[in-house]
Structure 1
Amino acid sequence: MVREKFGSRLGFILISAGCAIGLGNVWRFPYIAGQYGGAAFVLMYLGFLVVFALPILVMEFAVGRASQKGVARSFDALEPAGSKWHRFKWVALAGNYLLMMFYTTVAGWMLAFMVMSATGTFEGLDAGGVGDVFNGMLANPLEMTSYMLVTVAIGVMVTRAGLRNGVERVTKVMMGALFAVLAVLVVRAVTLPGAGEGLAFYLMPDFDKLFASGWGTFADAVFAAMGQAFFTVSVGVGSMSIFGSYIDKRYRLTGEAVRIAGLDTVVALMAGLIIFPACFAFGVEPGSGPGLVFVTLPSVFAQMPFGQVWGTLFFLFMSFAALSTVVAVFENIMSFGMDEWGWSRHKSCLVNGLALAALSMPCVLGFNLWAGVEVPGIGNIQAIEDFLMSNNVLPLGALVFLLFCTTKRGWGWDAFVREADTGEGLRFPRWARGYVRFALPVLILTVFVAGYVPIIQVWLGWG
C-alpha cells in the first residue's frame, strides 16, 4: 500500500500545529498565567518551551519520517534487532485513546457554549447565572452525550475522507478560521475601556509576583511553566510522529518544529490578549481557575455591547482549537489500525469510531450519574483520565522517544541527527547532545514527580 502524503508543506505545518493547539493553549494557559502573575510566568513558559519541549518534538518527527510509519510500526522499523522498543506502541495507542476519552467531552462543551452564546442563553446573566447553566449541562447526561457524539462524528468523518481530502483540507480551513476569529477578538478586547491594566498585567513582567508567598510560590510557578511548555506541543504518544511519516525530506525537522511550536505559542499568547484585557475591563479576577472560560468569560461577554456576537465568536474559536486536536489524534488512532493490521481506512474509522464513542461515556457520566466516583487528591472520572494522561503517559512517553533517539541501545544519536538534518533549513544543535542526553531526562522526571506531590500531600493529610 502506497503511503499517503501531505499535499503541501503548509498542510503539514497547520495540521501539526492544529494537533498542538488545543484546550491547553486557550483554556489552561490563560488561567495558569493569571494565577502566577501574568507576564513573568509567560517568560518562564517561553524559555522552557525552547529548552524542554522543542527537542522532543523534533525527535517525534524524525522517528516518523525515517520509518515512514506511525507509532504502530515506527519503532519496529528503526530499533536494533532483538530490542523491545516496539512494545511502547501499545502504551502510545492507549494514551491516544485515553486523551480522547475525556477530550471529546470537553470539546463538546465548547460546541454547546457556542450554540448557547448564539441563541442568547447568557444574555443578562452574571457569573453565578452562567455557572448555573454550566452545572445544569453537566448534570444532564443526554445533553452531554449528544455533544460528545457530535464531536466523535466530526473526527470520524474528517479522517474517513483521507489525509489530503479530509484531514488536510478541513484542518486548513479550521486553522485559517481560528486565526481570523482570534484576530477579531483580540482587537475587540484590547480596545475595551480599561483594557490597558490587563495588557500591563499580561505583558509587563513583575517578578515580585512570583514570590508573593515566598519561594514556595516561585517553585509552583516553575513547575507549572515546565508542565505547560511540555504538554502544549502534544509529545509523548506518537501524535506528532504520524505527521512526520507523511512528509518528504526537503526540509530539516528542527525548523519545522520551531514553526509549529511558534504557531502554537502565538495562539496561546493571543488567547491571553483576549482574556486578560476583558477581565480587567470588567473587574474580574484573571486567576479564577478552570471556570475562567466556562463561567467568568460568558458573563464578561454579556456585559459588552454586541456581547452575543463576541461570545459566539469566542466559543467558535475554542471549538476550532478543540476540534483541530480531535481530528489530529483521531488520524493517529486510525492510522494505527491501518499500519499494524492492514485495515482499510474505512474499517479503521468504523471500529475506532464506535470504540471512542463508547469509551468516552464514563467521562460524560462522571459529571452526573457516576458523580460519586472520585479519587482523593485527583477528582472525578474526567480528572482521573486527565491525570493519567498528562502526568503519566505523556512525560513517560516523551522519555521513551528521548532515550530511543539518544542511546546506543535505541535508534541512536547519529541516526536521529542525520534524519533531523536532512533537507534545507535549521540544523539540530549537535553541541546540545550532553544536555539532551543527560539533563532533559531529569527535567522530564521532575515534571512527572511534581505531578504526584500535591496528591501525596492530600493522601497523607498534609494538604
Structure 2
Amino acid sequence: MYKQKKKKRESWGSNFGFIMATAGFSIGLGNIWRFSYVAGHNGGGAFLFIYLIIIALIGLPIFLAEAGLGRKAQSGIITGLRKLTRRGSPWVLIGWIGILAASLIMSYYLMIMGWIFAYLIKVIAGGFSGMTVEQIALHYEQLTSNPLAVFGYTLIPVILIGLIVSRGVRNGIEKFVKISMPLLLFMLIILSAYSLSLPGAMKGVSWYLKPDFSAINGQTFLEALGQAFFSVGIGLAGAFTYGSYLHPHKSDLVKGSIWVISFDTCVAFLSGLVIFPALFAFHIAPDSGPGLLFITIPNLLNQMPGGMIFGFLFFFLVVIAAITTAVGLIETISANASELLKIGRKTSVWLWLGFIVLLAIPSILSHGPWAAMKFFGMSIFELIDYVSGNILLTTSGLFISLYVIFYWTFDRFQMDINTGATTLKITPIWKPIIYFIVPCVILTILITGLTS
C-alpha cells in the first residue's frame, strides 16, 4: 500500500461550495457552444430526448464513482489511486490518463477562450454593427489565423485563472463559483426570456422540444453519448479532485452529485432556449455547425433589437462558463502536480499554467501558419481534440466503470457512496446499470472514436 506523509488538506467550506465548484467544472463551452451546434445538427428535440436519458443512466453513475473515489482517497487522483490500490497498480492509469486528457483539452481550451475574449471586446466596442454575413465570416477567419492576436487574448484568461486557483479551494475557487454560477444561471434565464419574446420564436421552441423520432439513428445516439462525456467532464479527474475536498463521512455525495448533474443539464437546456428561438425568429439555420457561436451569433445580433446588449450578455456568459471549467482543469492538474512534486500550490499553479500556454501554441498555429500541416488527415488542433475527447476521455471513463465492477465491487461502492447520504441513496436497482449498461455504452463510444 502506498504511504504518504499526512498533512492538513484543504476542504470545501460547505456542500453548496462543492456543488457550485463541481457544476462550474462541468459547465463550460460544452454546454453553450458544443451542445447547441450538436443538437442543431441532430434534429433538436430528438437529440435532447436521448441526451437526457444518457445523462441520467451513464453520466450520473460514472460521476458518482469518480467523485466518490476522490472523497474516499482524500488526495489527488494519482496518489489517491495508489492509496486505494497500490503503487504500480494498473488502476492508477485512470489518473494518468485523466491528467493527460485534462492537459490536452486545456491546451486548446485556452485558444478558444482567447477567441471568446476577442469577441466580447469587439461586441462591447460595437465592432459587428453593420457587418454582412460574409464580413463576419471573414473576421472569424482573420482572427483565428492570426497567432499573435490569439496568443495575446489568451493571456487574459490565463492570468484570471491563475489568480483564482492560486488562492486555494475556499478563498479562490469556492468564492469565485458562489458568485459566478448563480450569475450564469440568472443571465441564461434573462437571455432565454428575451429570446422567447421575439416574433416567430415559438417555431424554434417547437423544433427544440418536440422530438421527431424519424430523425433518430445510430449516429444520434453516439453524438448524444459523446456530448454527455464532454459536458459532464467524465474521465478528466476533475470530479475526483473536487470530491477529495469533501468531508469523508459527513458530506452527502449522492444529493450533491444529483445537483451537479442537474445544474449542468439545466444550463445546456437553457442555452438551447437562448439560441434556437432566436435563430428561427430571424430565419437562420440551426445546423450551422461549430461556427454557430462565432459566425451565426454575431450575424444574429445585427438583426435583433438591442443586439449589442444581448451580445454583451451572451459572450460574457460564455466567458464565465469557460473560466469555471478552466479553473477546474487547472486545479486538477496543479493539485496532482503539487502532491507528486512536493511543491506549493501557487508554484504548481503558475508552473503548469505556463506549461499549458506553451502546449497551446501548436493549436493556435494550426489555424494560421501551420494550417497545411496534417496528421492522419487532421490539423494539430483536430488531432488533439480527437485524441483527448474520443480516446483518452472515454478510456478513462471505461476504466472507472471497470474499477467499480472488478475492484471496488457493488456492495462496497454502495456502502461508500451512501456514507453521509440522507434521503437519496444508491439502491440495488443500480447494480445492473453499473455492471452492464454503463460499461457497454462507454465501450461503444470508445470503439466508435477509434474507428470513425
**Pair 1:247-2:246 in alignment:** yes
In structure 2, relative to structure 1, the CA distance for the partners of 1:82 and 1:183 (3 Å cut) is closer
Match of 2:140 among 134, 144, 149: 134
Q: Work out the CA distance in 1 between the residues paired with 2:324 and 2:88.
A: 38
Q: Work out the CA distance in 2 between the residues paired with 1:242 and 1:83.
A: 19
**Aligned-pair distance for 1:86?**
2.2
The one-letter code matched in structure 2 to 1:316 is F
User: RMSD of the TM alignment (CA)?
Assistant: 1.5
CA contact (8 A) 1:406 1:416 kept: no
CA contact (8 A) 1:64 1:245 kept: yes
Consecutive unaligned residues in structure 1, runs of 5 or more: 211-217, 455-463
**Pair 1:98-2:104 in alignment:** yes
Matches within 5 A, 1:185-200: 185-200=191-206
Q: Work out the CA distance in 2 between the residues paired with 1:330 and 1:320.
A: 15
Q: Which runs of 4+ in 1 moved over 4 A?
A: none
Q: Work out the CA distance in 2 between the residues paired with 1:193 and 1:434.
A: 48
Normalising by structure 2, we get a TM-score of 0.95
Q: Secondary structure at the match of 2:77?
A: coil
CA contact (8 A) 1:252 1:427 kept: no
Match of 2:22 among 16, 21, 35: 16
The equivalent of 1:179 in structure 2 is 185
The equivalent of 1:317 in structure 2 is 317
The equivalent of 1:223 in structure 2 is 222
**Aligned-pair distance for 1:376?**
4.2
Q: Secondary structure at the match of 2:293?
A: helix
CA contact (8 A) 2:82 2:89 kept: no
CA contact (8 A) 1:72 1:339 kept: no
Q: Work out the CA distance in 1 between the residues paired with 2:225 and 2:349.
A: 35
CA contact (8 A) 1:78 1:411 kept: no
CA contact (8 A) 2:82 2:88 kept: no
The equivalent of 2:83 in structure 1 is 77
CA contact (8 A) 1:60 1:241 kept: yes
Matches within 5 A, 1:4-153: 4-79=10-85, 83-153=89-159
The equivalent of 1:414 in structure 2 is 411
The equivalent of 2:3 in structure 1 is none
The equivalent of 1:201 in structure 2 is 207
The equivalent of 1:397 in structure 2 is 396
**Aligned-pair distance for 1:87?**
4.0
The one-letter code matched in structure 1 to 2:433 is Y
The equivalent of 1:275 in structure 2 is 275
Number of residue pairs aligned between Structure 1 and Structure 2:
444
Normalising by structure 1, we get a TM-score of 0.93
**Pair 1:349-2:349 in alignment:** yes
**Aligned-pair distance for 1:253?**
2.1
Q: Secondary structure at the match of 1:323?
A: helix
CA contact (8 A) 2:15 2:251 kept: no
Q: Work out the CA distance in 2 between the residues paired with 1:33 and 1:168.
A: 31
CA contact (8 A) 1:252 1:425 kept: no
**Aligned-pair distance for 1:395?**
0.5
**Aligned-pair distance for 1:93?**
2.0
Q: Work out the CA distance in 2 between the residues paired with 1:328 and 1:66.
A: 19
The equivalent of 1:458 in structure 2 is none
Identity of aligned residues (%): 33
**Aligned-pair distance for 1:250?**
2.6
Match of 1:438 among 436, 439, 450: 436
Matches within 5 A, 1:325-404: 325-377=325-377, 379-404=378-403
Q: Work out the CA distance in 2 between the residues paired with 1:83 and 1:274.
A: 47
The equivalent of 1:461 in structure 2 is none
**Aligned-pair distance for 1:431?**
2.6
In structure 2, relative to structure 1, the CA distance for the partners of 1:258 and 1:132 (3 Å cut) is same
**Aligned-pair distance for 1:341?**
2.4
Q: Work out the CA distance in 1 between the residues paired with 2:215 and 2:379.
A: 32
Q: Work out the CA distance in 2 between the residues paired with 1:67 and 1:120.
A: 50
CA contact (8 A) 1:80 1:411 kept: no
**Aligned-pair distance for 1:166?**
0.8
Q: Deviations over 1:290-343 (max 9, x none)?
A: 111110111101111121111111100111111110011111111012222221
